[in-house]
Homo-oligomer: A and B are copies of this chain.
Amino acid sequence: MKRKALVLFSGGQDSTTCLYWALKKFGASSVEAVAFDYGQRHRIELSSAKKIAKLANVPLTILPITTFSKLGGNALTGKLEVKNSGVEKNGLPNTFVPGRNLIFLTFAAAHAYKVGIHDLVTGVSEADYSGYPDCRQNTINALARSLSLGMDFPVKIHTPLIKLSKSKTVMLAKKLGALEVLAHSHTCYNGKRPPCGRCPACKLRAKGFLEAGIKDPIH
């Protein structure tokens, strides 16, 4: 039987590149995508995901996660306190959910099990500073092991971008023929379209395209 892959898909630049990486590796009609509706600040993310999945002709499953807002807030009383500063004592944003990526991958793996897919693809990277330990290769390896054991179902997690800088990711996207569709990917933290160009996400994206010497089709 032909192997199929499930791509964790956010509608952003990195997971869009992963989607096209998977299409190349596993073949058209052998790729599915999963996105999460977890109360992200900008609904435009999910619109981008839907649009790109349609352009790539890839079935997209959207799974809801309501738990993060409870975890991000004051879970003990069940009341979510939205602080203006948005920062807790430990310096992390008060909506920060540790190990969030583990949850995404575990739900994705449960869905993959249901549809008989053993190969997951995620766009995590160790190269650009993020500070998130759940984006590191050793975490991903340990998780693949616990998922495989816990579901009694072999799970492989592919991380094609793990060692790539943003500019290398841009070059990979070009090589895979994914440049054009990146016009629809969402990056801006301020949820702006066209992107604000001033937030950290916009700046990182611009730097990647600049260093790659490629024009960002989003403009």
Contact = CB atoms under 8 A, between A and B. Distances in A.
Interface residues on A, range: 35 or more
Nearest to A78: B62
Copies of chain A in the complex: 2
Nearest to A70: B63
A147 interface: yes
Interface in A36-76: 59, 61-67, 70-71, 75-76
Contacts of A115: 76
B102 A147 contact: yes
A75 B102 contact: no
A214 interface: no
Contact of A110 (B64, B71, B109, B150): B71
A138 interface: yes
A143 to B, nearest CB: 4
Contacts of A138: 149
A196 interface: no
A30 B92 CA distance: 25
A111 interface: yes
A200 interface: no
A210 interface: no
Interface stretch (A93-101, A162-170, A185-193): A93-101
Interface of A: 59, 61-67, 70-71, 75-76, 78, 97-103, 106-107, 109-111, 113-115, 133-134, 136, 138-139, 142-143, 145-147, 149-153
